[in-house]
Structure 1
Amino acid sequence: MTGLSGAIDIDEIAAGLPRRIHEITTGHVVNAPDRIALIEDGAAWSCRDLDGRVAEITVVLSSLGVRAGDRMMIVSENCIALAALLLAASRLDAWAIVANPRLSARELDQIRDHSGARRMFFTSGVSKEAAAHASRYGAENRQIGALREIGVGPLNESATVEPVEADPAKQVAVLIYTSGTTGTPKGVMLSHENLLISAKTTALFRKMDRDDKIYLVLPISHIVGISLLIMTLMVGGTVRMVNKYDPAATAKAIAEEDITILNGVPATYQRLLEYKSVSGPKRLDRGSLRLISVAGAPVDLNLKLRVEKEFGLPLLNGYGITECSPGISGVRFDAPRSDQAVGTLLPGVEGRIRTIDGIPLSKGEVGELHVRGRNVMRGYYRAPELTAKVIDSEGWFNTGDLARFDGDCLYVVGRTKEMIIRSGFNVYPAEVEAVLSSHKDVVQCAVVGRPADGNEEIVAFVQLLPGSRATPTDLMGFIRFQLTSYKRPSEIIVLDALPATSTGKILKHKLAESLREGDEAPPAQTAPLRRQQI
């Protein structure tokens, strides 16, 4: 099956886009120079400020040896300095690599070495983690244009430059190293056109304009954060930078700062509701909010309903992945849904469903989702063989996600590699997780498979609300009549917290590894476990 969304002419959209991501503010500098583009605690930059200061920073970066075609690492939480360095890299035609300072030293070394980065930059004045990494690399703290306390790492004299392409579809803008949910990070090459097309179509989907003020708490070190930054600056809106998520601060900002759009992962909203129930007001003040959306992980209907009741707004579900810049589909702003659908394909994105062997499937059948469009990455850096495995000769990218279409509406049911085959039956973890998550005491959960005598068992890891007295036995009883026998977990393990990335995506491979190694929990877990086998 193939779906092609929208009456919007994607070629017309592409023709109207700038060649580089730093050019998205050019028109606003002329037409609304004093409009605030970026805000963080204690600082605000207008469109004029942003344009002029990025130009100054570009000159300094060039004097520090950063060249067109170089890879330039920026180790930073969300902040104005990060946005400025990202746009300055675009002016230089350097490839920006934004890395979260909460990564380990090993992970940063791995990215630096694989990318062949020319220099590393650290926003040392923003977070102690960035400052600690800067110290380890022997970075010198200095001022770069209007930016203070920027750690400048040593120059990599052996770094080679990549060819510079005039075509925005070929010139790489950012190199994003995946969070490694499979355990092996890869460098995703996204072009300027990739980012601009995805941002523009998503902004159209959301009916965004210059009056929007987005609360940017999702890390710019991940594709969703970068895309949100670009789309908001593109429409002339304001980006409220947030370097670390704090539900109390988020609730306060929504109530008092004229925030119109909040994007999050399920954990973002779950923690907001926890804050309200434990120490917050009777009801969260939605202020000027007009749109709330969720992506990055499956959302359970119980959480969706609770969030919608709290804010009086539909929680719009979306789907995207790093390799697609990230937009693939979304629930339309003017057509909210009450189910777990991830909406219709974005304009210019084609989709089809295939078996794992590549055979076309009938409408409504579950299979691997393949997509094609101008948003699909150029490939994995320095890994042509990996690229060839996921992008075919016709440009179709295999997402590795299991999905189905109901008409033109897309449903994602899990990852191909996460599918559990139990006694010959296919079990999709997302379905089991949805049932468990509907329990009133469950904050979040993750279901993985465990080999067992030529078969697979289902193991569920669960995080409960603070103070909950629910036991694994209680949870087993709760799901017993909601799932057929082969879909029920063989074991439920209660943890204080599930291992997750900085965006809140649960690291299932760590949970699966803990089972293979015979541990009772991931290494980070030290508290006593509650578990139940059947």
Structure 2
Amino acid sequence: MPAQIQTLDHLAERGAADAPALVLREGTINHETLRSRVAVLAGWLAEQAEPGARIATWAAKGELTCLMPLAAARAGLVHVPVNPLLKRAQVAHILADSGAAMLIGTPARLKTLEPGDVPQSCALVEEAAALDAAQSLGRALPPSSGDPQALAAILYTSGSTGRPKGVMLSHANMWLGAESVADYLGLAADDRTLAVLPLSFDYGQNQLLSTWYAGGCVVPLDYLVPRDVMKAVEKHGITTLAAVPPLWVQLTELDWPVETASRLRRLTNSGGALTVDLVRRLRVLFPKARLFPMYGLTEAFRSTYLDPDMVDAHPTSMGKAIPHAEILVIDDAGAVAADDVEGELVHCGPLVAQGYWQDAERTAERFRPAPAASRYGGMAVWSGDRVRRDREGLLYFVGRRDAMIKSAGNRISPQELEEAALSTGLVIEAVALGVPDERLGQAVHLVVRPSPGAPDARDALPKRLAQDLPNFMQPRLIHWREAMPVGPNGKIDRNGLQQELAA
């Protein structure tokens, strides 16, 4: 535990004054300017709403979206970042559910909202107008001295399993998350992080916070095609790149210049497991970069990471707990599971969020008292994810309890089937799903994208799966796609595929 947990806005104070902090379209600002702009934006925000009010932002990456997590915190407000890819109906739900006092967004996005989408108590402000008004007012707030346990942000899930729910994060949750990641990634003041993930995503927002904790520089990027990422790495001398598996797959399909690839010191992955084949391709393509496979959930930020030195020997492992996290594997009897015995991953400790905003029922389902074996006690996140721990203490993902395919009395792990398909080298992406079936309960369906160098994949894949998997795991149908659908956070849209196949 650190000597002192501070309110989130103190992250703006950590970098050397003249060191670069943020690369904007207008140019690069240093940490001294970052501090000034956070202070001025906070001063304007404090004039707009009472302490504790929710302020939503709905805009592409830029000055506003990067400064808001710290500026809202300094003003004693609660930031509600909205994914810029969401549509008006989803935004309307978030505004109503959060009780937002203000929505700051780009003019084009605000114009899509229809009558009834915006609560009467919610003001609409254009992004440029907010920044101009803050500069005109010129009221600079000093670093705050509030309670680190106070609510700082509400991050809404993508809603893949229902209407988006807001995860409540305290200053302490986010401060410790920034410190933890900066620590185990070994971030330093000379690091430059390319922020390609949505800032409304906990993994994406931490790109900012952990880099600034270390005194480094963030380069936000809304890319149109994967090649834009490669160009940005070269242009800005990027040392740190975070992504989710679908983007990593696309990036490994590019022809990276050796000098550009060698600029990267570290690669981090979350939002889905890396396959053995993808790990190998990343290691070949970026031989100088340390690869950090990670596992997390918004309700507890981040849970585990695998030490890069262990990736080659244990490519499918989730690793061990990150700093400030306690991870327990609990069996069906409520006790700590024995080595190599499947159980539920339970996250305990100070990274655990404060529950779901105004949703006591769903909070009670996921946030429950920590197991008796916990050294922290208090509330824990019962993830619903099934994992096992080996004798070395390394964790391995088995599957989500509610995602297991139940076919003819058999419990089938989608991940196991997906890994079997990917290990053939015939496909580059795979999703296994259970589709309702009168006779079997659920029939196994497999959605795949063929590898560019496998012209015979359609004929060869069923034969390979027949060789490698037991009969009860064989897919009834294999659906071939030229591209996989992705959701707002860049992950494969499994729920969308499920609905499509079940229709």
Query: Please, what TM-score do these two structures have when normalized by structure 1?
Result: 0.83
Matches within 5 A, 1:26-425: 26-28=13-15, 32-63=16-47, 65-124=48-107, 129=109, 132=112, 139=124, 141=126, 143-144=128-129, 146=131, 166-169=146-149, 171-244=150-223, 246-276=225-255, 285-312=260-287, 313-324=289-300, 326-338=301-313, 339-355=315-331, 358=334, 360-394=336-370, 395-406=379-390, 407-425=392-410
Matched residue type, 2:9: H
Kindly state the Cα deviation for residue 77 of structure 1 after the two structures are TM-superposed. Answer: 2.3
Matched residue type, 1:202: V
Matched residue type, 1:121: I
Separation (CA, whole Å) in 1 of partners of 2:199 and 2:100: 19
Determine if contact 2:427/2:449 at 8 Å carries over to the other structure. yes
Kindly state the Cα deviation for residue 302 of structure 1 after the two structures are TM-superposed. Answer: 0.6
Determine if contact 1:251/1:284 at 8 Å carries over to the other structure. no
5+ residue gaps, structure 1, are 1-9, 151-163, 518-534
The alpha-carbon distance between structure 1 residues 133 and 49, as it changes in their structure 2 partners (threshold 3 A), is farther
Kindly state the Cα deviation for residue 83 of structure 1 after the two structures are TM-superposed. Answer: 1.2
Equivalent of residue 480 in structure 1, options 463, 466, 478: 466
Partner residue of 1:527? none
Matches within 5 A, 1:458-469: 458-465=444-451, 469=455
Determine if contact 2:345/2:382 at 8 Å carries over to the other structure. yes
Matched residue type, 1:432: L
The alpha-carbon distance between structure 1 residues 344 and 33, as it changes in their structure 2 partners (threshold 3 A), is same
Determine if contact 1:37/1:233 at 8 Å carries over to the other structure. yes
Kindly state the Cα deviation for residue 454 of structure 1 after the two structures are TM-superposed. Answer: 4.8
The alpha-carbon distance between structure 1 residues 140 and 119, as it changes in their structure 2 partners (threshold 3 A), is closer
Matched residue type, 1:366: E
Deviations 1:171-222 (A, max 9, x none): 1111011112213321100111011112211211111111111111011110
Deviations 1:401-456 (A, max 9, x none): 11111132111122111111233332111111112223445232211112222532
Deviations 1:311-348 (A, max 9, x none): 11343211111011x21110124544442111111123
The alpha-carbon distance between structure 1 residues 398 and 78, as it changes in their structure 2 partners (threshold 3 A), is same
- Where 1:89 maps in the other structure, the secondary structure is helix
| 347-356 or 293-302: bigger deviation | 347-356
The alpha-carbon distance between structure 1 residues 46 and 145, as it changes in their structure 2 partners (threshold 3 A), is farther
Separation (CA, whole Å) in 2 of partners of 1:497 and 1:133: 30
Deviations 1:274-333 (A, max 9, x none): 232xxx65x573242111121111211111101110111343211111011x21110124
- Where 1:392 maps in the other structure, the secondary structure is strand
Equivalent of residue 503 in structure 1, options 453, 464, 489: 489
Query: Please, what TM-score do these two structures have when normalized by structure 2?
Result: 0.88
Matched residue type, 1:209: A
Partner residue of 1:16? 4
Determine if contact 1:351/1:369 at 8 Å carries over to the other structure. yes
Determine if contact 2:5/2:148 at 8 Å carries over to the other structure. no
Determine if contact 1:345/1:351 at 8 Å carries over to the other structure. yes
Deviations 1:39-76 (A, max 9, x none): 1334222111111112222222233x222111111002
- Where 1:449 maps in the other structure, the secondary structure is strand
The alpha-carbon distance between structure 1 residues 66 and 243, as it changes in their structure 2 partners (threshold 3 A), is farther
Determine if contact 1:351/1:370 at 8 Å carries over to the other structure. yes
- Where 1:380 maps in the other structure, the secondary structure is coil
Separation (CA, whole Å) in 1 of partners of 2:264 and 2:146: 40
Q: CA RMSD in A?
A: 2.7
The alpha-carbon distance between structure 1 residues 149 and 443, as it changes in their structure 2 partners (threshold 3 A), is farther
Partner residue of 2:139? none
Kindly state the Cα deviation for residue 464 of structure 1 after the two structures are TM-superposed. Answer: 2.9
Determine if contact 2:431/2:494 at 8 Å carries over to the other structure. yes
Separation (CA, whole Å) in 1 of partners of 2:418 and 2:491: 14
- Where 1:418 maps in the other structure, the secondary structure is coil
Determine if contact 2:168/2:353 at 8 Å carries over to the other structure. yes
Determine if contact 2:105/2:127 at 8 Å carries over to the other structure. no
- Where 1:72 maps in the other structure, the secondary structure is strand
The alpha-carbon distance between structure 1 residues 106 and 297, as it changes in their structure 2 partners (threshold 3 A), is same
Determine if contact 2:14/2:214 at 8 Å carries over to the other structure. no
Determine if contact 2:426/2:457 at 8 Å carries over to the other structure. no
Kindly state the Cα deviation for residue 263 of structure 1 after the two structures are TM-superposed. Answer: 0.9
Determine if contact 2:104/2:130 at 8 Å carries over to the other structure. no
Determine if contact 2:178/2:209 at 8 Å carries over to the other structure. yes
Determine if contact 2:12/2:38 at 8 Å carries over to the other structure. no
- Where 1:203 maps in the other structure, the secondary structure is helix
Determine if contact 1:102/1:129 at 8 Å carries over to the other structure. no
Separation (CA, whole Å) in 1 of partners of 2:406 and 2:180: 38
Equivalent of residue 478 in structure 2, options 480, 492, 496: 492
5+ residue gaps, structure 2, are 136-143, 371-378
| 349-358 or 93-102: bigger deviation | 349-358
- Where 1:82 maps in the other structure, the secondary structure is helix
Deviations 1:92-112 (A, max 9, x none): 111111111211111111111
| 432-441 or 371-380: bigger deviation | 432-441
